[in-house]
Structure 1
Amino acid sequence: MNSPITNSLTQIRTALKEIWGYDNFRSPQGEIVNSLLSGKDALIIMPTGGGKSICFQLPALLNTGLTLVVSPLVALMENQVEELKQRNQKAALLHNELSSSQRRATLQALEKQQLRLLYLSPETLLSPPVWERLCQPELQINGLILDEAHCLAQWGDTFRPAYRRLGAVRPALLKTKPVGTKISIAAFTATADPSAQKIITDVLQLQKPDIYKLNPYRDNLHLNVRIAWTPKGRKQQLLKFIQKHHNQAGLIYVRTRKDSEELAAWLTELGYNTASYHAGLGATERRAVEASWLTGKIPFVVCTCAFGMGINKNNCRWIIHFHVPHLLSEYVQEIGRAGRDGKPAEALTLVSEPTGFLDSEDKQRRQFFEAQMFKQQERAKQLAKKIPKQGEITAITRQFSDGAMALSLLHSNGELKWLDPFHYVINSQSGHQAPTQLQAAKEMTRYLYTKQCRWNFLLKAFGFGAEAENWRCGHCDNCRK
Structure 2
Amino acid sequence: MEIMTNADKILNKYFGYDEFRPGQREVIESILSGRNTVAIFHTGGGKSICYQIPALMFNGTTIVISPLISLMKDQVDELLMRNISSTFISSTLSDKEISIRLDNIKKGMYKIVYIAPERFYSDDFINALSYIHIPFVAIDEAHCISQWGHNFRPAYLKIKDFISAIGSPVVAAFTATANHKVQKDIIRFLGMEKCRLYIASFDRPNLTFKVEHPEDEGLFILKYIKKHIKKPGIIYAATRANVEKVYIMLLERGIKVGMYHGGMDGVARNATQEAFLSGKTKVMVATSAFGMGINKEDVRYIIHYNMPKSIEDYYQEAGRAGRDGKSAECILLYSPNDYNINRYLIESNYPPLKLVERVYNRIYNRGGVGIPMPFLVRSFNISPNLVESAIKKLVEYDYIQIKGGVAYDINKGQFDLTQDDIDTHRQIELDKLDKIQEYCMTDECLRVFILKYFNEKPDFKKCNNCSSCGVMPNKEEQFLVENLLDDILGVADESSKPDIDTKLLSKLKRLRKRIAKRQGQDAHAVLEDDILKDIAAIKPTSKRQLAKVVGFTSDKMKIYGEELLQEVHRYLKGC
In the comparison of the two structures, how many residue pairs are matched?
438
> 1: CA distance between counterparts of 2:290 and 2:213?
25
Moved more, 269-278 or 142-151: 142-151
- Runs (5+) with no aligned partner, structure 1: 1-5, 412-420
1:28 has 2:23 as partner? yes
Could you tell me which residue of structure 2 aligns to residue 138 of structure 1? 131
Q: Is the 8 A contact 2:445 2:462 kept in 1?
A: yes
Give the counterpart of 1:464 among 439, 456, 474. Answer: 456
Could you tell me which residue of structure 1 aligns to residue 9 of structure 2? 14
Moved more, 183-192 or 56-65: 183-192
> 2: CA distance between counterparts of 1:303 and 1:259?
9
TM superposition score normalised by structure 1? 0.80
Could you tell me which residue of structure 1 aligns to residue 318 of structure 2? 335
Deviation per residue, 1:157-181 (Å, 9 max, x gap): x957xx3123323424644x5xxx3
Bigger radius of gyration, 1 or 2? 2
Deviation per residue, 1:222-280 (Å, 9 max, x gap): 11110023xxx111111111111112111110011222223212221222221221122
Structure 2 counterparts to residues 387-466 of structure 1, below 5 A = 402=390, 405=393, 434-435=424-425, 436-465=428-457
Distance 1:216 1:139, change over 3 A: same
Deviation at residue 406 of structure 1 after TM alignment: 6.2
Give 3-state SS (helix, strand or coil) of 1:8's partner: helix
Structure 2 counterparts to residues 99-110 of structure 1, below 5 A = 103-110=98-105
1:242 has 2:225 as partner? yes
Specify which structure has the higher proportion of helix: 2
Identity across the alignment (%)? 32
Q: Is the 8 A contact 2:85 2:112 kept in 1?
A: yes
Distance 1:306 1:469, change over 3 A: same
Distance 1:39 1:207, change over 3 A: farther
Give 3-state SS (helix, strand or coil) of 1:43's partner: strand
Could you tell me which residue of structure 2 aligns to residue 149 of structure 1? 142
1:270 has 2:253 as partner? yes
Structure 2 counterparts to residues 75-154 of structure 1, below 5 A = 75-98=70-93, 103-124=98-119, 126-134=121-129, 137-153=130-146
Deviation at residue 332 of structure 1 after TM alignment: 0.6
1:253 has 2:241 as partner? no
Could you tell me which residue of structure 1 aligns to residue 552 of structure 2? none
> 1: CA distance between counterparts of 2:184 and 2:347?
26
Deviation per residue, 1:423-448 (Å, 9 max, x gap): 87969999998343221111111111
> 2: CA distance between counterparts of 1:279 and 1:155?
26
Deviation at residue 26 of structure 1 after TM alignment: 2.8
Could you tell me which residue of structure 1 aligns to residue 344 of structure 2? 368
Amino acid at match of 1:336: G
Could you tell me which residue of structure 2 aligns to residue 379 of structure 1? 353
Give the counterpart of 1:224 among 197, 202, 210. Answer: 210
1:61 has 2:56 as partner? yes
> 2: CA distance between counterparts of 1:191 and 1:219?
17
Give 3-state SS (helix, strand or coil) of 2:339's partner: helix
Q: Which protein, 1 or 2, shows the higher relative CO under an 8 Å CA cutoff with sep ≥ 6?
A: 1
> 2: CA distance between counterparts of 1:339 and 1:92?
30
Deviation at residue 312 of structure 1 after TM alignment: 1.0
- Runs (5+) with no aligned partner, structure 2: 377-386, 400-409, 472-575
Deviation at residue 335 of structure 1 after TM alignment: 0.7
Q: Is the 8 A contact 1:150 1:192 kept in 2?
A: yes
> 2: CA distance between counterparts of 1:410 and 1:123?
7
Give 3-state SS (helix, strand or coil) of 1:275's partner: strand
Give 3-state SS (helix, strand or coil) of 2:135's partner: strand
- Across the aligned residues of Structure 1 and Structure 2, the Cα RMSD in angstroms comes to 3.5
Deviation at residue 121 of structure 1 after TM alignment: 2.1
Q: Is the 8 A contact 2:160 2:189 kept in 1?
A: no
TM superposition score normalised by structure 2? 0.68
> 2: CA distance between counterparts of 1:431 and 1:20?
44
Distance 1:319 1:65, change over 3 A: same
Distance 1:32 1:150, change over 3 A: same
Could you tell me which residue of structure 1 aligns to residue 273 of structure 2? 290
Q: Is the 8 A contact 2:145 2:156 kept in 1?
A: no
Q: Is the 8 A contact 1:67 1:142 kept in 2?
A: yes
Amino acid at match of 1:288: A
Q: Is the 8 A contact 1:383 1:403 kept in 2?
A: no
